[in-house]
Amino acid sequence: MLQDWRFWFLAPMVLALGIVVLFPSGYLVWMSVTHWIVTDPSVYFDGVQNFATLFRSASFASAVQVTALYLVLSTILMLILAFGLALALSGPNSPGFIRAIVVMPLVIPPVVAGFTWRFLMNGEMGFLGAFVLPNVGITTNMLANPTGALISIVIADVWSRTPFMFLIFLAALQAIPRDHYEAIRLDGASALQEFWLVTLPMMRSAVVIALLFRVIDALNTFELIYVMTKGGPGRSTQTLSLLGWKTAFQGFDFGGAAALGVVMLVVTTVCASIVYRRFLRMPS
């Protein structure tokens, strides 16, 4: 094996992956079955106690609900927006600078985006929160109101992450051969039928890949929410990743946070593999 040159090409990568992925994952699992609270000097194996506590806690139930709501709302909005923008801007004559503008939020770090949106939504001096919204009859202070805060976060997230989905869709749209559209036009299809019978089916794998990225991305969203609301008011925008951070670094319950981490890992992996198996693997 050591004589095979391929081994030496693979080895550094496997080693790096082991250090940054496999080891921490294993450590996480070990932590999740350990009673480990920073303020408590005794650290011991605790079986599934951390999981039991987690599943019984009200904050976990609410975090699942908030995460699901946030995931579904933002994903639907993003899909519609990204698809619409990609359709509108996929033509050969659509100006490049508009595409550039659409993609721009992608290069703004989530922390900066979060601060910007917090200022925009601010009820006393924000452009949106203090001027635009009151003028259209919305006088609620968005970030101070549970529903308003969640909506604000969804808006900020959609603004910041739609460009990525847009890029995937744009590439997929432009990869559909012109012949297919011409063939179906000759067959007598209307514009709507063209979209339904050619565009949509041929975009399927792009949509699935975009959804896969989106689900993983949404479950991991942290900075944006942290900066905008820190999970509040109350628990109204406290997603699973926020809850994990709070458990670990405010409650100092490393074992409990690790258990939550394991749950998220399992959920993400299961979701991803369902999507992968169901939609992406080539039929044999």
Partner 1 sequence: MVAIRITGVTKSFGEVPVLRGIDLEIGHSEFVVFVGPSGCGKSTLLRVIAGLEQATSGDIHFDDRRITDVAPAKRGVAMVFQSYALYPHMTVAENMTMSLRLAGVPKPERRRRAEEVAKMLQLTPLLDRKPAALSGGQRQRVAIGRAIVRQPDVFLFDEPLSNLDAALRVETRVGITKLHRTLGNTMIYVTHDQVEAMTMADRIVILDQGRVAQVGTPLELYRRPANAFVAGFLGSPKMNFIKADEISRSGSSIRLKLASGSDIEVNAAATDKVALFGIRPEHLTVANEGPIAGTVAAVEHLGSETLIYVETSADTLIVKAGENATTQPGDRVNLRPEPNAIHLFAADGRSVAGAPNH
Instruction: Report the interface residues with partner 1, using CB under 8 A.
Output: 177, 179-180, 182-189, 193, 197-198, 201-202, 204
- The nearest distance, CB 212 to partner 1, in angstroms, is 20
- The nearest distance, CB 87 to partner 1, in angstroms, is 19
What is the number of H-type helices and E-type strands within the chain? Answer: 15, 2
For residues 1 and 192, which CB has a smaller minimum distance to partner 1 in the complex? 192
DSSP state of 94: S
* Interacting residues of 104 by C-beta distance below 8 A, sequence separation 6+: 163
For residues 64 and 202, which CB has a smaller minimum distance to partner 1 in the complex? 202
Residue type, 276: Y
Question: Helix, strand or coil for residue 34?
Answer: strand
Which residue from 212, 199, 208, 186 is spatially nearest to 90, judged by alpha carbons?
199
For residues 81 and 197, which CB has a smaller minimum distance to partner 1 in the complex? 197
Report how far apart the first and last C-alpha atoms of the chain are (Å, whole number). Answer: 32
Tokens for 282? Answer: 């080539």
For residues 35 and 180, which CB has a smaller minimum distance to partner 1 in the complex? 180
* Interacting residues of 162 by C-beta distance below 8 A, sequence separation 6+: 78, 81, 82, 85, 105
For residues 3 and 93, which CB has a smaller minimum distance to partner 1 in the complex? 93
- The nearest distance, CB 167 to partner 1, in angstroms, is 23
Residue type, 246: K
- The nearest distance, CB 187 to partner 1, in angstroms, is 4
DSSP state of 253: B
Tokens for 211? Answer: 């959804």
Question: Helix, strand or coil for residue 37?
Answer: strand
Please give the backbone phi and psi of residue 4, each rounded to the nearest 5 degrees, phi first: -75, 120
For residues 130 and 197, which CB has a smaller minimum distance to partner 1 in the complex? 197
- The nearest distance, CB 110 to partner 1, in angstroms, is 36
- The nearest distance, CB 169 to partner 1, in angstroms, is 17
